[in-house]
Amino acid sequence: MRVVLDTNILISALISPKSVARQIYEAARSGRIALVSCAAQFDEFRRVTRYPRVQQYIRPSEAGTMLNELRELAIYIEVNEKVDVSPDPADNFLFAMAQASQADYLVTGDKEDVLALGRHGKTHIVTVRKLIEILKL
């Protein structure tokens, strides 16, 4: 099963090691799901983990470790096609990544913009809790 994790899910997994977001990340680490990522997500992850409001919860070394893991763990997708479906243009790379990889799921906590769309092509847009239910974790 191919899965795109919204960057907010990755940040949640980093901040809270006992969170449901971390359970999904660990499912990727164990090979239970195939995580998909791209350069735009790596850039967003680096940028967000440098925000002062995020840095108060994590050490830079933890962010660096997770980013290195993502680079090794994820199926890297070159996103060449422009997709314009999200009310928030900054989220369009997620949809482009899901489309290019033919992901089964896009997991997000962004209820207003991303989750509200419900589906993009063959990709189901779900919450972390819904994917945990699907995976029976």
Model confidence over 106-116: pLDDT tens digits? 999 888 888 88
- Give the CATH H-level superfamily of domain 2-135: 5'-nuclease (3.40.50.1010)
Residue carrying structure tokens 């919204």: 6
Give this prediction's pTM.
Answer: 0.93
Task: Please name every residue paired with 105 in a beta bridge, in sequence order, or none if there are none.
Answer: 3, 124
The partner residues of 26 in beta bridges, in order of sequence, read: none
Q: pLDDT confidence of 81, banded at 50, 70, 90? A: confident
For the chain, domain boundaries = 2-135
List, for residues 6-44, the tens digit of each pLDDT value.
999 999 999 999 999 999 999 999 999 999 999 999 999
Of 58-67, 85-94, 122-131, the range with the lowest mean pLDDT is 85-94
pLDDT at 62: 94
pLDDT the model gives residue 112:
80
Q: What is the DSSP string of 10-77?
A: HHHHHH-TTSHHHHHHHHHHTTSSEEEE-HHHHHHHHHHTTSHHHHTTS-HHHHHHHHHHHHHHSEE-
Q: What's the mean pLDDT when you consider all of the chain?
A: 93
pLDDT (0 to 100) of residue 21: 96
